[in-house]
Amino acid sequence: MNDIKEYIPFVGRAVIDDLGLLSDRLKGKVVQNINSTSVGGGVAEILNRMIPLLKQLGVDARWDVIKGGGDFFEVTKKFHNALHGTAAGLTARDFEIFMETSSRNIAQMDIYGDIVFVHDPQPIALVERNSGNKWVWRCHVDVSAPEKGVWDFLMRFIPRFDAAVFSAPAFSRQLSVRQFLIAPSIDPLSDKNRELPQEAITAVLRKYGIPEDKPIVTQISRFDRLKDPQGVIDAFLMVKKHIDCRLILAGGGASDDPEGMQVLEEVREKARKYEDIHVLLLPQNDLEVNALQRASTVIVQKSLREGFGLTVSEALWKGKPVVASNVGGIPLQITHKYSGLLCHSVEGAAFAIKQLLNSPEYARKLGANGREHVRNNFLLTRHLKEYLLLFLSLYHPEDICYL
Partner 1 sequence: MTAAPFRFFTRFNLTELTGLKAADLDQLLQLLTEVPGACIYHHTHRFLQQHQYLSPEPPNDFAYWITQILGERELGERLASIDIVSFVRIRDLRNEIIRTIRDYLEEYPKAHARFSSPGEEFYFMKSVSFVLPTGYAAKDLREFRAILSRITFDSLYFHVFEARLRLENGSNDFSVWFESMGETKLAGAFTRLDPYTSTMEQLRGTMLKILDNQD
Judged by CB under 8 A, the chain residues 137 through 196 that form the site for partner 1 are 144-145, 166, 169-170, 172-175, 178-182
Q: Compute the distance between CA of residue 361 and CA of residue 104 in angstroms, rounded to an integer.
A: 60
The residue among 62 and 178 lying less far from partner 1, judged by its C-beta, is 178
Binding-residue total with partner 1 (CB under 8 A): 45
Residue 203, C-beta contacts closer than 8 angstroms, at least 6 positions apart: 291
Q: Is 369 in the site for partner 1 (CB under 8 A)?
A: yes
Task: Name the residue nearer to partner 1 (CB basis): 199 or 361.
Answer: 361
When asked if residue 216 is in the footprint of partner 1 (CB under 8 A), the reply is no
Question: Pattern 269-308, binding to partner 1, x per CB under 8 A?
Answer: ----------------------------------------
Under a CB-based contact definition with an 8 Å cutoff, are residues 389 and 336 in contact?
Answer: no
Phi–psi pair at 114, nearest 5 degrees: -70, -35
Q: Given the complex with partner 1, which of 103 and 376 has the nearer CB atom?
A: 376
**Going by DSSP bridges, is the β-strand pair 115-119/30-35 parallel, antiparallel, or unpaired?**
parallel
Question: Taking CB under 8 A as the rule, does residue 385 contact partner 1?
Answer: yes
Residue 243 region, left (φ>0) first, then alpha (ψ -120 to 50), else beta? beta
**27 counts as binding partner 1 under rule CB under 8 A:** no
Query: Residue 377's closest CA among 338, 334, 341?
Result: 334
314 in contact with partner 1 (CB under 8 A): no
Q: Which residues pair with 340 in a beta bridge?
A: 336
Cβ atoms 391, 382 nearer than 8 A: no
Q: Contacts with partner 1 in 324-363 (CB under 8 A)?
A: 326-328, 335-336, 338-339, 342, 344
Closest of 100, 144, 148, 109 to residue 127, by C-alpha: 109
Chain residues binding partner 1 by CB under 8 A are 14-15, 18, 21-22, 144-145, 166, 169-170, 172-175, 178-182, 326-328, 335-336, 338-339, 342, 344, 369, 372-373, 376-377, 385-386, 389-390, 392-393, 396, 399-403
